[in-house]
Every structure is written in structure tokens, then in C-alpha cells.
């Protein structure tokens, strides 16, 4: 049972870390637009076409 004296502060430390991570995410604007970001991954599948199109334009 004495290990609790050791383990619980570690748990608290993890919570503090989680809070810090969350603050970082919020301040970075990750929660500013919840509508778009979740779908953005779906749009990226044609990165190939995109670079091809860019190349066309440069030529």
C-alpha cells in the first residue's frame, strides 16, 4: 500500500501534463473550427493531382 504514496503523485503529474497539452492545443487554435478539420483528411487524397496541376501551371 505504501506504493500509493509514490503512484498517486505520478497520476497527478499525468493530469498536469494532460492539462498542459490541452492548453497547448487550444492556444494553437485546434478547437477554433470543429467543422472543417475533421473532414480535411478526406480532401487530401488528391495531393498527387494537386502537385501535377501545380507543375502544369509553372510550365
Partner 1 sequence: MTTSPPCYHCGLPVPAGSHYSIVIEGQARDLCCPGCEAVASAIVAGGLDGFYRYRERVNERPEQAQSLARWAAYDLPEVQQQFVHDWDGAHQMAALLVGGITCAACVWLIEKHLAHLAGVEKVSVNASTSRAQIVFDPAQVKPSQLFVALERIGYRPAPATAANRDNVIQTEHRAALRRLGVAGLGTMQVMMFAIALYFGAGTGDVGDFERFFRWVSLLVATPVVFYAAQPFFSAALRSLRARHLGMDVPVSLAIGLAYGASFYATVSGTGEVYFESISMFTFFLLLGRTVEMRARHRAGLASGGLAQLLPITVARYEGDEVVAVSIAALAEGDRILLCPGDTVPADGEVLEGESGVDESLLSGESALQRKSAGSPVYAGSVNGDSSLIVRVTAAGKFTRLSAIERLVERAQLEKPGQVALADRVAGAFVGIVLLAALGAFVLWWQLDASRAFWVALSVLVVTCPCALSLATPAALASATLRLQQLGLLVAGGNLLETLPRINRVVFDKTGTLTRGEPRIQRIELLRTGWDEQRVQEVAAALESQTRHPLARAFRAWRGNRLASQVRVHTGRGLEGLVEGVAYRLGRGDFAAEVDAAPPASVGQWILLADDSGPVAWIALGDALRASAREAVQQLHSLGLSVELLSGDQSGEVQRLAAQAGIDNFRAGASPEDKLAHLQHLQHRGERVLMVGDGLNDVPVLSGADASVAMMSAADLAQSRADAILLQGNLQVLPQSIALAYQCRRIVRQNLVWALGYNAVALPLAVCGLVPPWAAAIGMSASSLVVVLNALRLTRSGATIENTLSPLRGLGPGLTD
Q: Which of 6, 10, 43, 48 binds partner 1 (CB under 8 A)?
A: 43
CB of 59 to partner 1, least distance (A): 14
Residue positions counted in the chain: 59
- The answer to whether 13 contacts partner 1 (rule: CB under 8 A) is no
Residues in contact with partner 1, counted by CB under 8 A, come to a total of: 33
Q: Which of residues 23-42 bind partner 1 (CB under 8 A)?
A: 23, 26-27, 31-36, 38-40, 42
DSSP 8-57: HHHHHHHHHHHHHHHHHHHHTTTTS-TTTHHHHHHHGGGHHHHHHHHHHH
Amino acid at each position: 500500500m505504501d506504493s500509493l504514496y509514490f503512484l498517486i503523485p505520478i497520476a497527478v503529474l499525468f493530469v498536469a501534463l494532460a492539462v498542459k497539452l490541452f492548453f497547448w492545443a487550444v492556444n494553437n487554435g485546434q478547437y477554433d473550427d470543429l467543422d472543417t478539420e475533421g473532414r480535411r483528411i478526406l480532401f487530401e487524397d488528391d495531393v498527387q493531382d494537386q502537385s501535377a496541376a501545380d507543375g502544369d501551371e509553372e510550365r
